[in-house]
Structure formats: structure tokens, C-alpha cells
A and B are shown apart, each in its own frame.
Chain A
Amino acid sequence: MTGRGYAPVWCYWVVLPGLVVLWFLVAMALDSSLLPTPLAVGRTLYAEAANGELWLNLGATLARVAVAFVIAMGLGVTIGVVMGRSETTNALLDPLLLLMLNLPALVTIILMYVWFGLIESAAVLAVVINKVPNVAVTLREGARSLDPKLEAMATAYRLNRWQRTREVWLPQLFPYLMAAMRGGLALIWKIVLVVELLGRSNGVGFKLNLAFQVFDVATILAYSLAFVAVVQVIELVLLQPLERRASRWRRPELAHA
């Protein structure tokens, strides 16, 4: 974290607006319903928002993402930390982890639907199964990198299990937790869309499926962009403030000794 400096603010506003302009120009030139202009997508978005469809489907998808996220993080963190701390557990679970990591999301989704039926819990379970191995691998790295010197300190000063977890482990695992959360959010919402496309009757994935069948590209883009925006908001109002708060102690400008 040393001396990385800051890029000027305008740097953040170059690529994306440029892309929109490019999109607009190409769409104008092609003049095809298969590539609507940003304005057309905006109009579709507004219409969907006005008739309530957008909120209903965004809400359904978001709810699935939230439930799957919480369960997957809980399980993945526990499994990862235990594997990182215990060589025996690691040896036992590592082959399984490798298998799960390489299992295509689509396979899990189909199997869950086939075995449990087209129900909500099967959908969420399929997402969780896909995400847990990623979280576990990240947190296993974190648990392996725990500082043995602080560990010895905690033992010498007889910190109890709760203090050890909260004061010694959690701050060291925090960067790994953040990485798992960031990656998790992105991965989970992508899988949720597939789950919805294959076997749910609401949600963004369901809408995409409908639009796909009539080649309604404006709706496809409108819904995708809407959900990307939602994920961005989550990043901005939830994850980034959390990260800033937790890494206060390493802010270089505080250092003056």
C-alpha cells in the first residue's frame, strides 16, 4: 500500500462515456433494430420502469442474489478458514474443492432443477454451489497468511477464542473477505440470470429470455444495464465505505512519528 498515488478524477470519466458515444455512432450508422441507439434503450428502460415490470424483476433478481450471496459467503468463509488452518481438513476437502471449481455453472443448475424441480430453493442452491468454492479458495489463502507472530502474542496474552477471531483474525482476513465479496457479487448475479432464464417466471434472466425469443435487443440492454447499475450502487454505498472504514489504520497520511 505504499505510495501508489492518485490518478486525476477525469480519468474515471473517459472510457465509459467514450463507449456510449461510439455505440451511438455505430447504431446510427447501422440503423438496425438489432443495435438500438442509447436513446432507444433509455426509452425502453423508462417504459419498463413506468409500468412497474422493471422494479418487479430487478427486485426478484436482487432478492435471489442477496440470499445466495449471504449463504455462499457464510459457507465459503467457514470452509476456507478451516481448510487454511488445518492441513488434515485441507487434504480431505481439496480434491472436492477442485472438482467443484471446475464444475460448469450450467451443469449444477440443470442438475438442481432436474433433481429438486423448478423451485426457488433449487435455484438458490445452484447459485450457492457455484459460488462457495471460489470464496473458500480465497479465504483459504487468507487463513494461511495469518501472522504466526500475532498468533503467538494472542496465546501468550491468553486471548479467548472470540477475541482472537475478532481482534487478530478478522482484520487480517479482511482484504480476502473484500475480494471474495467483490468477485462474489459479480459472479453470483451472472449465475442468477442463467438460473432465471432456465427455470423461473420472474427476474431479469426471465425477461432476457422473453426478449431473446423476439430479438428485442433494446429490452435486453435496458435490463442488463439496469442491473449493472444496481451492482455499482451496492459497490459504492456498501462495499467501498466498508473498506475505507476498515482500513483507516493504514492510511499513510496518518503516519507522523
Chain B
Amino acid sequence: MLELRIKGRDFERPVLGDIFTQIRRGDRICLLGPSGIGKTTLLNAIAGLDRHTPATAFRGRESLRLGYLFQEHRLLPWRTLGQNLAIVGAAPKDIDRLLESVSLTGYKHHFPDQLSLGMARRAALARCLAVKPDLLLLDEPFASLDPVRAGELRTLISGLLDAHPHMGMLCVTHDASDATALANRLWYLDGHPAHLQWDAPVASDVETIVQSLRTSMPLL
């Protein structure tokens, strides 16, 4: 579905090093790695937002629909949730269903600033879904939510992925347990410039993941 051919050596001081891999349909990837290593940069690069990464570093991106959940909701604060979904291309008849799918039924006419952090993030998730994405890019979707809300959102995203088996996901997280809950594949990004130290299917339990990471990453 999407082939990454990022060559770090093309730039002066690259954040991202050589990254050659593929994202296939239905891949649910959790992207782990130390803070500030370039996880968000990789997401931005895939979305075409990193001006240091040329478009030639990707094959198949043009035909791909991307739903990007940023760390902040980045909804337009002067538009209601319904309007925010319509702007990215949601058909009027789909808006209620989209909001329902993220448990925001009845919030169509609310403005983003009227929502709590968790609700705004779900609304932003609805906007991701509004473009009928082939690939979901999630940047720390559970950050700064309390454990209960984080758990609910994880269940919600897991349910959405099950409902759309062909949709791919690339999710930045710090929590290996997110990987067991959501992912079927694990990337570990590290080094300067950053490259994939680990690209493997997810084992069924956290312990195994942590163990295998530990073998490759003595500091963990």
C-alpha cells in the first residue's frame, strides 16, 4: 500500500536516517522509541508535512487517503464539529454516523472549545475517519488522558480498526501495552539519524515485547 524509501544521507543534519519498509493494507503498526527521536517527524513525512523529506521517498502515497490525528485536536475552533467534518469532505448524511462512531452523538453543533480534551480528540478522530482513510496516522492518541479515558479510547480505536479491516494504522505511543491492544506489528525507532531498529510482528503479551526490545536496546 505504501512503500517508504527514506534516505537520510541526502540531507545535511537529518532527523530521519535510512528507512526502507512497507505498510500493507490492514497493518496495525505501533511506533515506539525514545522522546524526540523523530517519531512525529516520520508521521509528518508520511503525511507530506516534512519539507526535508522529498515526495520521492514514498511510493504509492498519491493514491492514498490519510487520516492524521495530531497530538492536539487541530479542529477549526470557529467551526462546529459538523462543519469541521464537512470541510475535509464528509457528506452531510454521514456526519451523524461519524460522530456516533466516536461516541459524540448530539455534538454536531458544538464548537471544539466547548469540548473536553478527550472529546476533542475523539472529534479529531472522527475527522480522520471522514476522509475514509486507507491509513490512519495517530500521534500519541492516549497522551494526557486519564487511564480510564485512555482505555476507553483504546477500545474505541480497536473497534474502529476491526470494523475497517483494510484500513492501515501507524500509531506513535510510549506504552508497549498499546501495542498488544492495538497492533499486529511493531516499529522501534532509534539512533541519530533515526532508523527502524525493530520491525516485527507483535507478540501476544507485553513481556515478550519488552524482552525483545531489551535484547536490541540494552538501555531499556
| Interface contact B78-A171, CB-CB below 8 Å | yes
B interface residue count range (under 10 / 10 to 19 / 20 to 34 / 35 or more): 20 to 34
Is B199's CB within 8 Å of the partner chain A?
Answer: no
Other-chain contact of B74, A149, A163, A250 (Cβ < 8 Å):
A149
Is B88's CB within 8 Å of the partner chain A?
Answer: yes
| Interface contact B49-A249, CB-CB below 8 Å | no
Contacts of A63 in B (CB 8 A): none
* Interface hit among A47-55, A89-97, A117-125, A152-160: A152-160
1/0 per residue, CB under 8 A from A, across B86-109: the answer is: 011000000000000000000000
Is A161's CB within 8 Å of the partner chain B?
Answer: no
For the complex formed, measure the closest distance between the CB of A249 and the CB atoms of chain B, giving whole angstroms: 5
A-facing residues in B47-87 (Cβ within 8 Å): 47-49, 66, 68, 70, 72, 74, 76-79, 87
Is A39's CB within 8 Å of the partner chain B?
Answer: no
Other-chain contact of B48, A149, A155, A250, A255 (Cβ < 8 Å):
A155
A-facing residues in B105-126 (Cβ within 8 Å): 111, 113-116, 119
Contacts of B87 in A (CB 8 A): 157, 159, 163, 167
| Interface contact B76-A150, CB-CB below 8 Å | yes
| Interface contact B49-A255, CB-CB below 8 Å | no
| Interface contact B70-A149, CB-CB below 8 Å | yes
Q: Which of B70, B119, B127 has the most chain A CB atoms inside 10 A of its CB?
A: B70
Contacts of B111 in A (CB 8 A): 249, 254
| Interface contact B115-A257, CB-CB below 8 Å | yes
> A155–B48 Cα gap in the complex (Å)?
8
For the complex formed, measure the closest distance between the CB of A118 and the CB atoms of chain B, giving whole angstroms: 47
Other-chain contact of B88, A149, A159, A171, A255 (Cβ < 8 Å):
A159
Contacts of A246 in B (CB 8 A): 78
Contacts of A167 in B (CB 8 A): 76, 79, 87
Other-chain contact of B70, A153, A163, A250, A256 (Cβ < 8 Å):
A153
| Interface contact A149-B119, CB-CB below 8 Å | no
Contacts of B44 in A (CB 8 A): 152
Size of interface on A: residues with Cβ below 8 Å to B: 19
Known A149-B70, A171-B78; contact A156-B47, beta-carbon cutoff 8 A? yes
Is B206's CB within 8 Å of the partner chain A?
Answer: no
1/0 per residue, CB under 8 A from A, across B32-49: the answer is: 000000000000100111
Q: Which of A150, A152, A156, A250 has the most chain B CB atoms inside 10 A of its CB?
A: A156
Is A226's CB within 8 Å of the partner chain B?
Answer: no
| Interface contact A254-B114, CB-CB below 8 Å | yes
B-facing residues in A72-96 (Cβ within 8 Å): none
Is A197's CB within 8 Å of the partner chain B?
Answer: no
Contacts of B72 in A (CB 8 A): 149
Is B131's CB within 8 Å of the partner chain A?
Answer: yes
| Interface contact A157-B88, CB-CB below 8 Å | yes
Known A149-B70, A150-B76, A168-B76; contact A155-B88, beta-carbon cutoff 8 A? no
Contacts of A149 in B (CB 8 A): 70, 72, 74
B-facing residues in A149-207 (Cβ within 8 Å): 149-150, 152-153, 155-157, 159, 163, 167-168, 171
| Interface contact A155-B49, CB-CB below 8 Å | yes
Contacts of B48 in A (CB 8 A): 155-156
Would you give 26 A-B contacts (Cβ < 8 Å), ordered by A?
Answer: A149-B74, A152-B44, A152-B49, A152-B70, A152-B74, A153-B74, A155-B47, A155-B48, A156-B48, A156-B66, A156-B68, A157-B127, A157-B131, A159-B87, A167-B79, A168-B76, A246-B78, A249-B111, A249-B113, A250-B78, A250-B113, A254-B114, A255-B113, A256-B114, A257-B114, A257-B115
Instruction: Please give 12 more A-B residue pairs, beta carbons under 8 A apart, in addition to A153-B74, A250-B77.
Output: A149-B74, A152-B49, A153-B70, A155-B47, A155-B49, A156-B48, A156-B49, A167-B87, A168-B76, A249-B111, A250-B113, A257-B119
A residues contacting B by CB (< 8 A) are 149-150, 152-153, 155-157, 159, 163, 167-168, 171, 246, 249-250, 254-257
